[in-house]
Structure 1
Amino acid sequence: MVVNKRSNGSEHAEGDAEPLTSIELFTGAGGLAEGLHRAGYRHRLAVEFYQRACESLRNNRAKDCPDLVAAARAIPTADAEWPLIEGKVQDVDFAPFEGKVDVLAGGVPCQPWSIAGKRQDIEEKIGGERNLWPEMFRVTHQVRPKVVIAENVVGLTRPSFKDYYDYILDGLRLPHEVRKPDEDWRRHHERLKKRLDNGDVPDDERYVVRAAILNAADFGVPQIRRRLFIVAYQANLGIGGWKSPTPSHSKASLVNDLIEGGYWARHGIAPRDEFTATLTPTLPNGMRPWRTVRDALRFPDELVEPELNRKPSPGPEHHVGWPGARPYRGHQPSDLDWPSKTIKAGVHGVAGGELTVDDSLGRYRYLTVREVARLMTFPDDWTFDGTRGPQMRQLGNAVPVDLAKAIGDSVRIQLRPGSAPDDSAQVSGDGEL
């Protein structure tokens, strides 16, 4: 296995306020972790169960952590490798990190929230080990971070899950009101609500929670990907709550760029008149255009059109053309001149055509792993362990790196007002749904 240890990549300037430290749960292939790293965070620990994802992390920035106490005592530097635990979060005692971490972050595994309407208890339906929100509460209780950043699918906010979603928010508000053995979540939630209603919880024992649904395309990711972010601040910080990042890119700007011709000129190709005829111009808003699939495949360095022969194409690793794609009802490809569909975990059989494209040679084909990595804004030298299937699984489950950086910047600006400004991390609103 080729190890590709990466350079720092952090945008934290020397001389800024002290960098934020963090622990990453459910790390996967490292999208959220890498985005926070680029925002200047220093990871004290990363935890991941999936073996292939752990190998990917080792190939890039991580090393195995043999001693949690030593990791908690270490002062992480910009070029330090991320200490990695390969295993279940449930099996890790995070007590050595109590009071030593600014941010606890994690994309909580997307348990099947599509069971809306089924008349079964949520925790009973999904099973204890598949619902890891209680682990987020537990680790928050043990570590007592200043901030918690959690990412999940938008389906969690569906009306059918309102009771459990409210429980998640209240569990993060009062993580130190620990769930008792054999206490079901509804009884625990009643205790949480009672304490919140009483208003007698000290500020250092509670968190202020805000949530927002963000579209990755609005932050320079060439993909339509709406995700839920929940951010909790310790109440005693006096911040008042998370302010979600202001979008830097917009659909309106892309539409105008396509209609007015700047987009086509930039790519040196003739306009697709039949495509632009379906678009309605809008007022300019000063934002950059959404990035498209064609943008991702051509900038900063153009990827060659792959041969569909399962052999590596010239260029960065994982650019391997795969044969056998065919269009059929309900499986329309992503359009080259629009952000891609939401990338899902899987290969053959993934519904909706999320991993296919009509390329510039007129072929209907599967996207390569490297092309999908670009749609997730991983750099070209970020490598993924396994064959095509496991690699696509890691990518579909990841948080786009550029979106993660925008989240990290928004939190850093509030926690470290003296840190270097970053035009991709302006803040606005209160982030509440």
Structure 2
Amino acid sequence: MPEQQFSSIKTRKSVELFAGAGGLGIGLAQAGFVPEMVVEFNKWCCDTLRENHTVLLDDDTSESQHPWKVQEGDVRLVDFRPFENKLDLVSGGPPCQPFSLGGRHRAYDDARDMFPQAVRAVREAKPKAFVFENVKGLTRASFLPYFEYVKLQLEHPELVALADEAWEDHLRRLEQHHTSTNRPDLHYRVVTKLLNSANYGVPQKRERVLFVGFRDDVDARWSFDSGDYTQEALVWDQLYGDYWDRHKVALKDRVLEGRSLQISKRLSVTEKPDTLPWRTTRDAISDLPDPETENFVSNHRFQPNARTYPGHTGSYLDDPSKTLKAGVHGVPGGENMLRRADGSVRYFTIRESARIQTFPDTYKFHGAWSECMRQLGNAVPAELARVVGESVALRLESSEAA
């Protein structure tokens, strides 16, 4: 967590690309980054963004509300030059299907790869900083050369690929430029980090890779810690704390499974961790009514026909949720489900999924259940985005005060 806190949030200008349902934007806005423009291609996502068209800061007064200027359409047609040197941040999650462990692995020859557009936005707008995120699959061994290629493009956004130049040849030129002493062009210092959202207070085991860059003239000295929340602290709370009593769980249902059970064998009552406990699915959704009997809560309608498959048995109530997934053609079978104590399963509702992704309860989603779940499956947890945004804002402010 940041080593110091400022007394008030300073409003900063940003542009958000590939905004999806708005999870990254919500968290960054809570950290003070107000979007001058939000770019998204999907119609339903744009409808969701427009429905929830205000930035949510620490309070809900009219002075803290800023309209989101949603630009619906192809990011390749957007000109970012009017924002040149006027932005503190460019952010976004370039479509990640090429790199997903659960999707097709075409990577750099996949037309859905939008990282070149993220680099172009940085090149044209020249922001003080950027934050881009993607799936863990981008770091797998078979993609490491392309991972390095993406990072070097973000570090040297003005060294553009030549017409018909293969990405491997462009990578070689970037490596030569990167190791040169003569680099007068636009340059960013980039840090990459693989984060587990559960370690930052999100009730979901969701791993994302982060690209954070600061322009050369910003003395940011940025790094990001490993989070204040741990599984060990959760298991200790369940063994010796008041977790079960707090949730009024019957003795017969107080069950530890998987890695939690292994951890429990080496913890004692005198070894309370100095970290916070992972937040669980129960922590996130226990106060919502049973959707099979009551659905008066917005976006909390029961979806039937959930089934388990080998390796896809739903999320335990007393662990953080498994990663919510979008799927290429809707919610994949056996995913995005709650596993009850008796072993039966049901799909998470849209509202439960939004809770797991730490969206505000006031947030409304547009589209059918499968479309809304796709939006949420692709989203960045808002709380993770807030923590990252605050760390970036802190370093920007420290640099400006130096």
Shorter-chain TM-score above 0.5: yes
How many aligned positions are there?
379
Gaps of 5+ in 1: 1-12, 64-76, 420-433
Match of 1:27 in 2: 19
Residues 33 and 245 (structure 1), Cα distance of their counterparts in 2 relative to 1, 3 Å cut: farther
What amino acid is the match of 1:305? D
* Residues 22-421 of structure 1: pairs in structure 2 closer than 5 A: 22-61=14-53, 78-113=64-99, 122-124=107-109, 126-127=110-111, 130-202=112-184, 205-240=186-221, 242-271=222-251, 272-275=253-256, 279-282=264-267, 283-298=271-286, 302-307=287-292, 313-315=295-297, 317-346=298-327, 350-351=332-333, 353-359=334-340, 363-417=344-398
- C-alpha separation between the residues in 1 aligned to 2:359 and 2:201? 12
Are the equivalent residues in 1 in contact too, given 2:331–2:373 (CA < 8 A)? no
TM-score w.r.t. structure 1 length? 0.81
**CA deviation vs aligned residue, 1:386-428 (integer Å, no higher than 9, x gap):** 0101000000000000000011011011111399xxxxxxxxx
Residues 99 and 391 (structure 1), Cα distance of their counterparts in 2 relative to 1, 3 Å cut: same
- C-alpha separation between the residues in 1 aligned to 2:174 and 2:68? 35
The Cα shift of 1:224 comes to 0.4
- C-alpha separation between the residues in 2 aligned to 1:349 and 1:121? 21
Are the equivalent residues in 1 in contact too, given 2:218–2:399 (CA < 8 A)? no
- C-alpha separation between the residues in 1 aligned to 2:399 and 2:146? 38
**CA deviation vs aligned residue, 1:174-208 (integer Å, no higher than 9, x gap):** 00112222222222222211111112113x72111
The Cα shift of 1:264 comes to 0.4
Residues 81 and 14 (structure 1), Cα distance of their counterparts in 2 relative to 1, 3 Å cut: farther
TM-score w.r.t. structure 2 length? 0.87
The Cα shift of 1:121 comes to 7.9
Are the equivalent residues in 2 in contact too, given 1:340–1:354 (CA < 8 A)? no
Q: Secondary structure at the match of 1:384?
A: coil
Please, which moves more after superposition, 382-391 or 54-63?
Answer: 54-63
- C-alpha separation between the residues in 2 aligned to 1:121 and 1:357? 32
Q: Secondary structure at the match of 1:275?
A: coil
The Cα shift of 1:286 comes to 1.8
What amino acid is the match of 1:236? D
**Percent identity of paired positions between Structure 1 and Structure 2:** 39
- C-alpha separation between the residues in 1 aligned to 2:79 and 2:137? 30
Computed over aligned residues only, the root mean square deviation of the Cα atoms, in angstroms, reads: 2.6
Q: Secondary structure at the match of 2:97?
A: coil
Are the equivalent residues in 2 in contact too, given 1:212–1:228 (CA < 8 A)? yes
- C-alpha separation between the residues in 2 aligned to 1:383 and 1:17? 26
- C-alpha separation between the residues in 2 aligned to 1:281 and 1:320? 41
Gaps of 5+ in 2: 56-62
